[in-house]
Amino acid sequence: MWLFFAFILVPLIEIALFIQVGGLIGLWATLAVVVLTAVLGTILVRSQGLQTLEKVRTSLETGADPSRALAHGVMILFSGSLLLTPGFFTDAIGFALLIPPVRDAVFEHFGARIVMRTTRFGAAPGRRPTPHDTVIDGEFEEIDPDSIPRRAGSRPSGWTQR
């Protein structure tokens, strides 16, 4: 139900802000501000998104918990969509989500309501796997190559042994 109210309330807030700001600074200045915030937001989202992507990669390589970096990445993506949406209210929320302490506060707020479970496979926690740790379990069945039907004129592939 709250999502329904958000879809009604946010456009009303945006329209009211456009009318107020447009009355104060004029039409062309208002449009210029909207375009400028979209361009500036795109630049900031791109740089912060790349930094966050590097943090996710590093945490996955080291075996650390990537949930914080992933949540930051989702919030940066969401802020980018808000900044590309024309409006002052959505821009304010979008720019707020580009501030790392704000993202940390949002993560802590929602993280307290989410149960996260971690499952590890392979080497013991804190130890990087070695080539000797890799075990592949499988089943096989030998097939006589002469029993495989072939089309007329076809040759056996390079994958068969003779």
pLDDT at 140: 79
- Average pLDDT of span 30-47: 93
**pLDDT grade, residue 159 (50/70/90)?**
low
pLDDT tens track for 65-83: 888 999 999 999 999 999 9
| Cβ-proximal residues to 64 (8 Å cutoff; 6+ apart), any chain | 58
Predicted local distance difference test score (pLDDT) of residue 142:
84
Whole-prediction pTM value? Answer: 0.67
Tell me the DSSP string of the chain: -HHHHHHHHHHHHHHHHHHHHHHHH-HHHHHHHHHHHHHHHHHHHHHHHHHHHHHHHHHHHHT---HHHHHHHHHHHHHHHHHHSSSHHHHHHHHHHTSHHHHHHHHHHHHTT--------SSPTTS---GGG-----------GGGS---TTPPPPTTS--
Task: Give the tens place of pLDDT for each residue, 112-141.
Answer: 887 767 665 655 556 666 666 666 777 878
Give pLDDT tens digits for 79-117.
999 998 889 999 999 999 999 999 999 999 988 887 767
Q: Which residues contact 78 (CB under 8 A, 6 or more apart)?
A: 94, 97
